[in-house]
Structure formats: C-alpha cells, structure tokens
Structure 1
Amino acid sequence: MARDPHDLLLRLFRAAVDSADPATTVARHLPDLPRGRVVVVGAGKSAAAMARAVEQAWPGVDLSGLVVTRYGHAVPTRRIEVIEAAHPVPDQAGAEAAQRILQAARGLGPDDLVLVLISGGGSALMTAPAPGLTLEDKIRVNRLLLASGAPIGVMNRVRRRLSAVKGGRLALAAAPARVVTLAISDVPGDDPLAIASGPTVHDPDAGADLSNAVRMLGPDLPEAARRLLMQTPEPLPWFDADYRLISTPLMALEAAAQLARAEGITPLILGDAIEGEAAGAGLVMAGIARSAAVHGAPVKGPAVLLSGGETTVTIGPAKPGRGGRNTEFLLSLAVALDGHEGIHALSGDTDGIDGTEDAAGAIIAPNTLARARAAGLDPRAVLAAHDSYSLFDRIGDLVKTGPTLTNVNDFRAVYIT
C-alpha cells in the first residue's frame, strides 16, 4: 500500500497532540464538588485551555481564580481569569501572577476546594522568588539553566530551591482547603515533582546537595542564588497530595501507535523518557533505523519507531544560530543516515514550539541533505553551529502548528517504508 511519508508523519504527530487535548481529558478527572468554595488556579502552556475545559464541565458552578499561560496561549474564559507571561525566561507578568495565585489560595477553609491546573512551562510562568532573591536573579539563573545542558531533573531541583511557590509551597499556602491537581505531564517519567517543579507535591529533595549544580552554572550565577543553593534548608511539612495525571507522553505515543496499526504499519515504542544531547540521540536513532531498514531488527518495515522525552542542546562559547532540540535531533539524524533510502522522520514539541522558535519541529527525508546542499548549505557545519532551524526553514521542511494548547513533551517518529 503506497503512503505519502510526509502526510503519515504529520498525522501521527497530530494523533499524539490530540490525545492530550484538555477539551477531552479534563472533564474525566474532575473531583466531586465541595460544600464550600471552588478556587481554580494554575500555570503552564495548557493552563488556559484547561481552565476553559473546567468551566465547560461545571457550567453552573460558582468558580473563581486565575491561571497563567504563555504569551499567545490564552483562550476565552468567563469565570477564571487568564494571565499571559513569558516562557522559557520568566518576566514581571509571571511574577505578579504567582503572587496573585498564592493570595487566591490563602485564607480558605476545610470545606473549600483549590483545583490546581498544571502543565509544561508552569515552572517559568509561575515565578515567585524565594526570600532574598530578586526577579532579575531568577531570570539570570533560568538563562544559565537553559544554556547549561543540565537534565530537566537538575533544572527543577534548582528552580524549587529558589522558589516561594514550587516544591509543594502552593499546596501549603492553600491549607486547610482540599487541594486537587490536574496535570498534563511534559517530563520523562511523569514525576509530579518535576512537572512545573511540583507546586502541589511534597519535595523530598528539599535538602539535597546542589553544589554540583552550582559548579555547572558557573561564575555568572548571582551571588544570592549561589548562597541559597549551597545552603541546606529546613524540610517542609509533610502533606498528602491528590494528584491526577490526565495526559502523559506515553499516552500520546500510544495514540500514534494506534493510528500506525490502523494504517498497516508496525509501531515500536522505544520509550517516553529519552534524554541526553539532541545530536547524540540523533546518532543513536540513526543506528536503530538503519538496522530496521537493512536487517528488519528490532522491527521489520513498514514500521515506525516512536519515542518521547526531552533532549538537551549544550551551547558552547560561540554564539549559536537558530534551532531547538527537535530540529537539532533531526539534522543529526539526517547527517548520520546520509540519504539512506526508505527512512523518513518527524520530531516536534507537542506544544507547537521547539525551544523559542515558531515551529514545532521539522521533517526529514532521504533527499534532505541533497536539498540542503543545493541551497548552498553545509549540513555538518550547520549542525555544529546549532543552526538547524535555519536549514529546515531554507528547504521548507519546518512543521508549524502554532500553539497547540497542550504539552506532552517531544514526539519523534521514524518511518521505515
């Protein structure tokens, strides 16, 4: 059966994204209504879409509250206020939103409900500096983290230590009200403490030694942040968390796998928590794809290798070009495959934005390198300069969806015909 690989890959990506649409997932996980008040707060790229889904599921309920989402990700709501702020580097709007969210959660009673809507990006969007820190300190730390190549777990431990809202502090502010969290996971392993840095879950790592992170962040780390990261803080009070994962990366991969099977294609899910350098992951994936194409192992074509997770791009001293981890992964994959026939791939961030660019990711085909060279580009040099976005933009292979209003991390599909 002849298939258009480009169309197939786009449909697989859309199936993954649609599986995490708040419009169809939020209502299934809502708690029972309380005797008292309902206050809705939240943060993340999906926060506004989740808030709208709550309003639609509870049309007659007296709701109040506010959520903060990324610029361009707001949707109309009637009872829950939506605030837009910056991501991935925090700004004043996010800092003010965090203070208002803390204030909305305080002063409630045991008969009241605080419904917390959490999704990827919430860590940067809901920024409340710990005592002794300024917003500028937090912004500088965040920039250093993004350029460090540190695993997301290390990033989030640093963010929690420097925050007045993360690591369970939002839930503590809401006590004695009941707190229920609905979360869309964008992190490898779906650890609630890592999703938006866990504002409503207890942090057992609150006293962890972060001296290695301090060394990784280097001499540009603000002195106030350095002091806090080197201290061993007092442990926070223990509390139970009603935490409900409504969408996850694995669920998205399974949705894509279901579509592949319907198309007569064998899906192989390699994992939803692949981390490491994006370029290195591209090399590894090329080896697996080439083995599948030549030897039929680990799967015989027609097949699609599906994976998720969050790779990183470590920026050296030279000024980088334009690119995100998905386009860097794809360019590395294309270079390693070197035009191997019968292998096509898509990699994209399910929120529709790869890093800070306006594309979700891109698509490669056996002729990608030849087309890039015909356009006057040297793919290996472009990869070394971290300028992958520019290459795919030049040859017209970017995938642009606009904000999807959800986020279940990166989606990668390698199609072996």
Structure 2
Amino acid sequence: MHKPTIDMAYLKGVLSELLCIPSPSGFTDQVVLFVSRELERLGIAYELTRRGAIRADLPGRQYSPDRAVVSHLDTLGAMVKNLKPNGRLELVMIGHWSARFAEGARVTLFTDDSAYRGTILPLKASGHTFNREIDTQPVGWDHVELRIDAQAESRADLEKLGVNIGDYVAIDPQPEFLETGYIVSRHLDNKAGAAVMLAAAKAVKEAEMELPMDCHLLFTISEEVGSGASAVLHGDVAELVSIDNGTTAPGQNSRETGVTIAMKDQTGPFDYHLTHKLIGLAKDHRIPHQRDVFRYYRCDGASAVEAGNDIRTALLTFGIDASHGYERVHESALENLAELITLYMQSPATAKRDSTRLGGVEGFPETQGADIDPNLLPHAFGAGRSDDD
C-alpha cells in the first residue's frame, strides 16, 4: 500500500469545469454527461441508473463483497413558485439553504425552450426608495423575488417569454481559485467531492494499483433533497464511504485543511470499525485529520441505510467555511482527502465476515476497549446468572 501523488492541476481543473455546469437537484443531466465523459477519458467503466446516478467500477482481486465511495453532483438551487403581477418571480428553494445567501445572487432561469439571466432581490431592494426599510425587512424566501433580464412588467409579459411555474433556477457559483491555496465558490458542496473522487481514481489508474476488492465510484443526483445513494447501490456492497463537506464554524472541530472524519451526523453514529479504520490509515500515512460530529447534517450514507441496505458507512469530509453559502476550502484539504481515499481503496475488507450477509458470531468484530472487567460494572449486571445456568 502506498500514498500516490495527486494531480492537483487535474483536480482543480475538473472542479472548475464542474462548478460551471448548473445542476440543482432535479436538473442534473448535463453534469451527469460531463462526469460520464470524464470517466471514459480515464478508462473507467460505468453505468447509469434510469434517472442518471452513476456507478463506475475500479476492479479488484475480489468481486464480492465489494466497497463503494460516493459523492453527489446535485447542488442547491430554486424553482419558480409563481408569476407575479409586477413581472417578477416568486421562488421556493431546492435543497435547504437560507434566502440570506440568495439575496443578490446572479442566476440562470431555465424555461421549457430558453434561458434567461437574472438576479434574486429582496422585495425592498432600493435604499433610495425604502430608506432604512431595506435593513429591517425580514429574511426568508417569501421576502425575495427573481428579476429576469428581459422586458417583463406583468404576468402576461412573463407568459409571453415562456416562463412557467416549475422552471428551474441555477445559482451562479462565482468561483475563485486563489494563489493562497483557497478556493471560494458556491456549490463546493459537493462539486469538490466529485473532483476529489475523480482525482483519486486517476491516481489509482495511472499507478496501476492492484486493489484487493472491487471499488465502485458512485455519483448521486439527489442528495440535497434527501434520497442520495438510496438506489444506485447493489447487494454486494458491504461498506460505503461518503465524501462531502464538513462545516467549519464555532462549536465544530472541522477545519479548512486536512481531512475531517465524521463520527456522527443527525441520523446517528457511523460504523465504528470502518470509521476507525479510516482514522488508522490517516495516522499511519501522516495525513492531517481531525474528527467532528454534525448535528444538522445528513449525507448519502444515511439515505443508503434508510433504504434498507445492510452496509457499514463512514463519512470523510473537506471542511468548508459558510456551508450552503459562499463556501471556502483550502486546496490542501482536497489533496489530503484524495490521498486517504486511494489508501482506503488499497486496504483489505474492514471485516472478513462481511462476505456473508447472515451468519454466526465467528469473525464478528468487537469495538476496542469494550472488553470491560465485570467487577467494574454495576452490581445488577448479570444478576441471578452463573456459569451453571
């Protein structure tokens, strides 16, 4: 097992291209086609589900059981809720994000037959008209509207332009790749995760690494609305590692550098053995890392488990500041994360027993430190039982 060099020029280049492709949940066809072409260029076989989730294959010595690494291609966005009498558009959010970050955003509105540029504005946008009311009006999706850059002063004007309820609105990413190593953009969640996966796969292919078991690269298209990896898995996958953003904020241990390894999110703890295996790989190969717990966060792994998959799950993240807003990460975090993924792909199965879906206790792994002296436990533990029972 060795830690390969990650082609950071490739990683940042493919991230830049991904960011420029509009892909709010439900409007992901173009980004799916882009990633499909990129997989072909890397010589990696893949398949698409009916809706467009991607399952690519890096073959290993063992066909089954196997493992998967997942990232999502869909982003936040908005949809037209109503055509207003003033020629503006009422919006609802796609995914969960604050209208505070929507105010002032440049966007593209996609109609059935065309596209228009526009700006999301608060209802009271002019200080020359509303004076201090522009600072005291509430924040929320009921208090913003979309002004499209076309002649539209009435609902009838909007209808003539072909605008309809249900049209998609994609938010401009406005990416910046800075000499300091920082990357600032909307939609780093989770275009950066997809770029990391592609860069890791490129490193594996170019180094001609022999993997111990098949590894599937999953690119999902509906994580931001909750369904994520619920459909793209197949029964042979025994362990799933999600790649997504961590949240750097007061009270959190995530950082914009190194790999942030999640121990738990709002759906519950991640698999103890798989998570500690990843921590061990990071330690052994001197990859900067930290642990964190996310209270208001869910990922592709959660939807996979909720769909009924009996798999071990873990979450590796790149810490970003201002998640679901104007996000920022340092490129070193993406490099470290890609390195850890390649090491994970080279590692043996987390538990050999996982080759059997149902079985006895033989080979069942135990949590470290769980073999506790019974004398240290409360007296009631095991009361009334003896070796003769």
TM tier, smaller: under 0.3
Q: Which has the higher strand share?
A: 2
Work out which of the two has the higher radius of gyration on C-alpha atoms and give 1 or 2. 2
Q: TM-score, normalised on structure 1?
A: 0.24
